Structure 1
Amino acid sequence: MEEQMVRELEDIASKIKKQRAGLGLSQAAMAKLLKISAPAYCKIENGQTDLNISRLMQICKVLKTTPTELFATNYSQSANKEEVLSLKKDLLLKEEELNKLRKKVIDLYDKLGM
């Protein structure tokens, strides 16, 4: 189970690196856009740092992608297409839930005058 999580994190880190390179951004430029140090960003791409949702959303914004795309797995041809579609739908629903929760948090901060 833990090995699988490590592989998934490495896969996400690899996708982040590929997206960044595809946009022609260096690690230093990406770090600057995220307002973190270059070594800290390097650890993200190497899978040495666990991403929190806030940082993941920042990265997605800069890379012009979505968490769904970063978490999507490259399924083999033999995979059940209906299952894949169902899983993608579930991911989209979770992303919508996350956006609603984020809005609630922002609304609560506004009510508290923060």
Structure 2
Amino acid sequence: MGHIGENIKKSRIELGLSQAQAAKMLHISTPAFCKIETGQTDLNVSRLLQIAKVFKVTVDQLLNGTPGKTASSEEVNILKAELLVKDEELNKLRKKLIDLYDKLGM
């Protein structure tokens, strides 16, 4: 996923934005944005779409780095599988959180 961060950084620089400015446009903290660019944070689809919209580029450009290059179907399938795993993890965490609130009587 590191190459996606590099592509995001390239798009940000092409717009002449600092990391702080980009983070503000995305309504996240500067350290959170820095982690996206360095590949320390896994992106979900909605964040990827948000970045593409704010930076006025296609998701394909963020994924592949060039507008003409498209991901292979194998790459797309791998990314879809990774997204499904992350969505399942999120759902489990949400359920745990709800259960904790229930136990606390909130």
SS at match of 1:15: helix
Which residues of 2 match residues 1-114 of structure 1 at below 5 A?
9-72=1-64, 87=72
Residues 11-42 of structure 1 show CA distances to partners (whole Å, capped at 9, x for unaligned) of 11001001101100000000000000000000
Q: What amino acid maps onto 1:25 in structure 2?
A: L
**Percent of aligned pairs with the same amino acid:** 53
How does the TM-score come out when normalised to structure 2? 0.60
How far did residue 52 of structure 1 move? 0.5
Q: Distance in 1 between matches of 2:63 and 2:21?
A: 23
How far did residue 63 of structure 1 move? 1.0
Change (3 A) 1:86 1:58: closer
Q: Distance in 1 between matches of 2:14 and 2:70?
A: 27
- Structure 1: 5+ residue stretches without partners: 1-8, 75-83, 92-114
* Superposition CA RMSD, Å: 2.6
SS at match of 2:40: coil
- Structure 2: 5+ residue stretches without partners: 77-106
How far did residue 87 of structure 1 move? 3.9
Q: Distance in 1 between matches of 2:50 and 2:71?
A: 27
How does the TM-score come out when normalised to structure 1? 0.56
Residues 41-91 of structure 1 show CA distances to partners (whole Å, capped at 9, x for unaligned) of 0000010000001110110011111111222267xxxxxxxxx77949xx7
Q: Distance in 2 between matches of 1:50 and 1:24?
A: 24
